[in-house]
């Protein structure tokens, strides 16, 4: 079961043009995302006409509302039914009492987030105590991703998440001259601290064995934050004497499609003019890198079909253990109607990779 009362990344904003709709399955539910032609505002509704079940995304957008292709019922961005063409005026039927479920949405930094409340609950605003969608550090509000890679992983959300935070697979899965070679494996230790919805690998100098980092000059430090439901934000900062700090931010967000499929979105931002040189090759690297993760998950799916018992070892899998603990605590806190209490303690983890 996907965690509820949290924000999930739905898609990069540029995928949804004004006046258009897109169908997305999220956490086993059918959603239609639309963008108002006039205002540019994004909305999300359950992608099912309450009349006879036709997906609303198969209809068309008319004046900011969706018109179902079957009998032309119209639904506004907040889910209210605004027109039933077959009614004669004397019938006095209150169309507005019919509603499709609306989902709170947020667009920021060129990404569209959707808030998934308890499955039974329809609400146009998040809970008062809900967290905000993940904020990206150090970027102006106008920042847009330089590249977004979205890939469907053939696994449930848990394996996508723990694959994402797994520090031990790099030299094997991401074997490449420009990144890692198995011979480069060495001992590492990293300090972690709890954060509001997860934990953070505190700011440190990146390990020296990644060729990509060697190209950069100046004082480079990086911080990697993980938050429920499955968002990883890497923030690399470069400080050079007498100059403004420059930033690179990569966000990876996993969104469950259903029990067996997960969308992984990876968006990249930077302020560093120097990195513009990378732009032509970036899609290739991003696709290769994420594709390697997807391919190993596809292999894993073959093995998981036989439902083996699995293990998590110290310290390389401690972040995965934390993820499961965070998830359990989130569910318990919701069930008991109390505030979430982060179960992760600050600690140093050691592993070889
Ligand atoms: S099924 Fe949608 S209007 Fe009838
Ligand atoms: Fe990976």
What CATH number is given to the structural domain containing 14? 2.102.10.10
Say if 138 falls within a structural domain. no
Confidence of residue 182 (pLDDT cuts 50, 70, 90): low
CA of 170 to the centre of ligand 2 (A): 6
Say if 128 falls within a structural domain. no
Say if 122 falls within a structural domain. no
pLDDT digit string (tens) for 297-340?
999 999 999 999 999 999 999 999 999 999 999 999 999 999 99
Confidence of residue 180 (pLDDT cuts 50, 70, 90): low
58 has pLDDT over 60:
yes
Residue 277 to residue 215: CA distance in whole angstroms: 12
194 has pLDDT over 80:
yes
CATH number at residue 294: 3.90.380.10
185 and 61 fall within a common domain: no
CA of 46 to the centre of ligand 1 (A): 14
Helix, strand, coil fractions of the chain, as percent rounded to 5: 20, 35, 45
pLDDT digit string (tens) for 239-295?
888 888 999 999 999 999 999 999 999 999 999 888 899 889 989 999 999 999 999
106 and 186 fall within a common domain: no
Instruction: Give every CB contact of residue 327 below 8 A, 6+ residues apart in sequence.
Output: 3, 228
Say if 291 falls within a structural domain. yes
Residue 325 to residue 29: CA distance in whole angstroms: 25
SS3 assignment, position 153? strand
109 and 166 fall within a common domain: no
Query: Are 76 and 61 in contact, with CB atoms under 8 Å apart?
Result: no
Residue 103 to residue 79: CA distance in whole angstroms: 9
- Domain extent, residue 23, equals 6-116
Residue 259 to residue 180: CA distance in whole angstroms: 32
The separation between CA 281 and the C-alpha centre of its own chain, rounded to angstroms, equals 23
- Final residue of a structural domain among 93, 116, 139: 116
Q: What is the pLDDT of residue 66?
A: 98
Say if 139 falls within a structural domain. no
Please choose from 30, 68, 75, 93 the residue to mutate so as to test ligand 1's pocket, defined by most ligand atoms within 8 A of CB.
Answer: 68
Beta strands in 5-89 (DSSP E): 6-12, 21-26, 29-35, 42-46, 60-62, 65-67, 74-75, 81-83
58 and 167 fall within a common domain: no
Residue 156 parent element (H or E): none
291 and 169 fall within a common domain: yes
Total count of domains within the chain: 2
Q: What is the mean pLDDT of the chain?
A: 93
Interior/surface letters 162-195, b for 16+ CB within 10 angstroms, e for the rest: bbbbbbeebbebbeeeebbeeeebeebebebebe
* Rounded to 5°, angle at Cα 240 from 222 and 145: 50
72 and 194 fall within a common domain: no
73 and 186 fall within a common domain: no
Ligand at shortest distance from the CA of 169? 2
Confidence of residue 231 (pLDDT cuts 50, 70, 90): very high
Say if 129 falls within a structural domain. no
102 and 153 fall within a common domain: no
- Final residue of a structural domain among 97, 116, 135: 116
Q: What is the pLDDT of residue 15?
A: 98
Contact residues of ligand 1, CB 6 A cut-off = 49, 51-52, 54, 68, 70-71, 73
207 has pLDDT over 70:
no
Q: In 153-240, which ranges are continuous DSSP H helix?
A: 157-164, 170-173, 211-214
92 has pLDDT over 90:
no
Q: What is the pLDDT of residue 210?
A: 56
Token readout for 173 is 């899965």
- Final residue of a structural domain among 100, 116, 132: 116
How far is CA 106 from each of CA 113, 120, 131, 133, 167, rounded to the nearest angstrom? 5, 21, 12, 8, 31
Burial-class residue 96 by CB neighbours within 10 Å (0-12, 13-18, 19+): exposed
Q: How many CB atoms lie within 10 A of CB 226?
A: 24
Confidence of residue 146 (pLDDT cuts 50, 70, 90): very high
88 and 183 fall within a common domain: no
Say if 103 falls within a structural domain. yes
214 and 264 fall within a common domain: yes
26 has pLDDT over 80:
yes
Q: What is the pLDDT of residue 275?
A: 87
204 has pLDDT over 60:
yes
CA of 50 to the centre of ligand 1 (A): 7
174 and 283 fall within a common domain: yes
Please give the model's pTM, rounded to 2 decimal places.
0.94
Token readout for 287 is 């696709």
If we measure between CA atoms, which residue out of 160, 157, 184 comes closest to residue 170?
A: 184
Lowest mean pLDDT among 28-42, 173-187, 255-269: 173-187
- Atom index in ligand 1 nearest the CA of residue 53 equals 1
Q: In 169-281, which ranges are continuous DSSP H helix?
A: 170-173, 211-214
Residue 20 to residue 34: CA distance in whole angstroms: 6
SS3 assignment, position 252? strand
Please choose from 46, 50, 54 the residue to mutate so as to test ligand 1's pocket, defined by most ligand atoms within 8 A of CB.
Answer: 54
112 and 152 fall within a common domain: no
- Atom index in ligand 1 nearest the CA of residue 59 equals 2
Confidence of residue 114 (pLDDT cuts 50, 70, 90): very high
Interior/surface letters 121-132, b for 16+ CB within 10 angstroms, e for the rest: eeebebeeeebe
Say if 124 falls within a structural domain. no
């Amino acid at each position: 079961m996907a965690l509820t009362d949290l924000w999930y990344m739905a898609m990069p904003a540029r995928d949804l043009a004004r006046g258009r709709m897109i169908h997305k399955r999220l956490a086993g539910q059918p959603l239609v995302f639309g963008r108002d032609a006039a205002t540019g505002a994004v909305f999300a509704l359950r992608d099912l006409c309450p009349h006879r079940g036709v997906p609303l995304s198969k209809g068309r957008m008319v004046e900011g509302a969706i018109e179902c292709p079957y009998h032309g019922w119209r639904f506004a961005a907040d889910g209210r039914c605004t027109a039933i063409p077959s009614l004669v005026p004397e019938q006095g039927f209150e169309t507005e009492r019919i509603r499709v479920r609306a989902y709170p949405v947020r667009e920021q930094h060129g990404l569209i987030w959707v808030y998934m409340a308890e499955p039974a609950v329809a609400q146009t605003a998040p809970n008062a105590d809900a967290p905000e969608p993940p904020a990206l550090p150090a970027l102006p509000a106008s920042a847009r991703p330089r590249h977004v890679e979205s890939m469907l992983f053939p696994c449930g959300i848990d394996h996508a998440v723990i694959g994402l935070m797994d520090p031990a697979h790099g030299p094997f899965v991401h074997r490449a001259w420009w990144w890692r070679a198995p011979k480069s494996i060495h001992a590492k230790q990293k300090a972690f601290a709890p954060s509001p919805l997860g934990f953070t690998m505190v700011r440190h100098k990146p390990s020296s064995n990644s060729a990509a980092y060697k190209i950069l000059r100046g004082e480079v430090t990086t911080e990697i934050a993980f938050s429920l439901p499955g968002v990883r934000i890497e923030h690399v900062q470069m400080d050079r004497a007498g100059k403004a700090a420059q930033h690179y931010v990569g966000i990876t967000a996993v969104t469950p499609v259903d029990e067996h499929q997960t969308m992984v979105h990876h968006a990249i931002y930077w302020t560093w003019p120097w990195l513009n040189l990378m732009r032509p090759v970036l899609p290739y690297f991003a696709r290769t890198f994420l594709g390697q993760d997807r391919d190993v998950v596809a292999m894993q799916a073959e093995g998981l079909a036989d439902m083996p018992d699995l293990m998590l070892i110290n310290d390389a899998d401690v972040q995965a253990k934390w993820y499961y603990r965070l998830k359990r605590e989130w569910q318990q806190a919701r069930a008991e109607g109390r505030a979430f209490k982060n179960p992760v303690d600050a600690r140093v983890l050691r592993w070889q990779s």
